[in-house]
Amino acid sequence: MWAEFEWENKVAVHTVIQNEKEFLDHIIKSTNMKCLTAPSALEGECGFLAANLYAKSVFGEDALVSVSIEKQADGKLSGYIRIRSKTQGIALSLGDKITLKQKKEAIDLVLRYPISKPLKPSSPVQSHFYHLIISSQEQSRPLFDEQQLDRSNSTRHRRSSKT
């Protein structure tokens, strides 16, 4: 079945999760896919994990995902998630969704566990986000609210229409 699917999207693993099984469960939950790998093959701690996932879209299109991850010496996970499908759109959109969920989990972790010891940002961009996160934690409010996003989008639209 893998060879039948012409389109492939390869996504690198960038996660704050440090447990292989926990990361796989996060991907399964985020993508609403079914794990084809037997649960007995996923048991134990050996420092790497390989699993196959499957899903069918509401339009009847199949997607296969191969997750291959390894725990590095520093405890971080590395590896790739390969997505295969018969159509390019499914492969790309599923890859985008996985990438977005990996970024969201990092933001959620930062917001869930407040920074106790301030870090020194090394660039203006890092400094800007650092202050956004700290002020959000102090005020117990979301990092971005809908009004801020609407204001930001309308400003961008006005700037682009003037040129």
Main-chain phi, psi angles of 128, to 5 degrees: -60, -45
In this model, does residue 8 exceed pLDDT 50? yes
Cα–Cα nearest to 66, from 85, 86, 46: 85
In this model, does residue 34 exceed pLDDT 70? yes
Beta bridge partners of 78: 70
| Residue with token string 């986000």 | 129
Cα–Cα nearest to 40, from 21, 54, 22: 21
Q: Which of 47-56, 98-107, 111-120, 153-162 has the lowest mean pLDDT?
A: 153-162
pLDDT of residue 154: 46
Task: Specify the 3-state DSSP secondary structure of 40.
Answer: helix
pLDDT tens digits, 119-145: 555 555 455 555 555 555 444 444 444
Residue 108 vs residue 33, higher pLDDT = 33
CATH number of 2-112: 3.30.310.10
- Distance from C-alpha of 56 to C-alpha of 1, rounded to nearest angstrom: 14
**How do the domains of the chain map onto residue ranges?**
2-112, 124-162
Residue 6 vs residue 140, higher pLDDT = 6
Residue 116 vs residue 110, higher pLDDT = 110
Cα–Cα nearest to 49, from 27, 71, 74: 71
- Distance from C-alpha of 114 to C-alpha of 62, rounded to nearest angstrom: 41
Average pLDDT across the chain, whole number: 76
Percentage of residues of the chain with pLDDT beyond 90: 35
